[in-house]
Amino acid sequence: MKKLLLFLALSALLLNSSAQELNCQIQINHSQIQGTNTQVFQSLQASLYEFMNTRKWTEHVFNTDERIDCTIMINISEVQGNSRFVSTLSVQARRPVFNTTYYTTLLNFQEKKGDFIFQYEENQSLDFNLTSYTSNLTSTLAFYAYVILGLDYDTFSSEGGTAYFLKAQQIVTAAQNSSENGWKAYEDKKNRYWLAEDMLNATYQPLRRCMYRYHRLGLDVMAEKLQTGSAEIAESLRLLERVQRSEPNSFLLSLFLTAKTDEIIDVFKGSTSPTEKTKVIQIMKTLDPANSNKYDGINASE
């Protein structure tokens, strides 16, 4: 454990000087595993931390305070042999809101239980190639690194994350001959294949434009122009109605709602415009009819 803490401390110093794009926390839960050398889990955590945080993912220069906060959680449920791990992967990402101490969630996704199976040996070096599949472990983490970058860039310029979603799709293409789950269209409608595919599909262009208006023109201006920002967020949600009409059970729309529902309710609870509140409630009930009653909370007293 001391070695792990020392490694993480040294990595933090390295990151402060090089300021890579991601500030990624790695959490390994192995509580279900009995009788296995726990040192391998500490080694895995350290290796993944280094992989995500010291690799250069873009051509851009990031300041330390500009790095994207994200968390990768791996819940290991089974060890097969000495080096094959059956687990579930969860990914979260967030970004700060301009002129505030508030962070807004960009992604909160958990893969299907047991879908993330990977090989790892203690102190193993982690290799990755964008165009060739080398391991399920590194391909999956690199895939989510590019998805997180794509989402973040989409919030700063309209469809600004396209280059990174294309890289995520390259990883999916390279993994098509893999025997592991999560990479193929026929396996599930809510997996890595469809996440990359949908982000680049013109059907979901309104959702990506919403991400820009919601964050850059909405949340980011609310500290100085509250009504202007909330009005922009309300209008951005109208773009999602186009997606709902085209794809009522959209994977991407469900991801947006998971990340944003509580935030939207909180934003418009504070609105001083009854008309705006009514409009947002109607939009959200259309987008998310299963949780219709929840949006009535926008009219609740503070």
Which of 29-43, 128-142, 191-205, 240-254 has the least mean pLDDT? Answer: 29-43
Q: In 3D, which of 64, 211, 44 has the Cα closest to residue 141?
A: 44
User: What's the confidence (pLDDT) of residue 19?
Assistant: 61
* pLDDT tens-digit readout, 212-243: 999 999 999 999 999 999 999 999 999 999 99
Helix (H) or strand (E) holding 237: helix 226-246
**Alpha carbons 154 and 162: distance in angstroms, whole number:** 8
Helix (H) or strand (E) holding 27: strand 22-29
Is residue 302 predicted with pLDDT exceeding 60?
A: no
Is residue 263 predicted with pLDDT exceeding 70?
A: yes
pTM value? 0.92
Maximum distance among all alpha carbons in the chain? 61
- pLDDT > 70: what percent of the chain? 93
Q: In 3D, which of 229, 193, 190, 196 has the Cα closest to residue 213?
A: 229
User: What's the confidence (pLDDT) of residue 7?
Assistant: 46
pLDDT bin (cut points 50, 70, 90) of residue 6 is very low
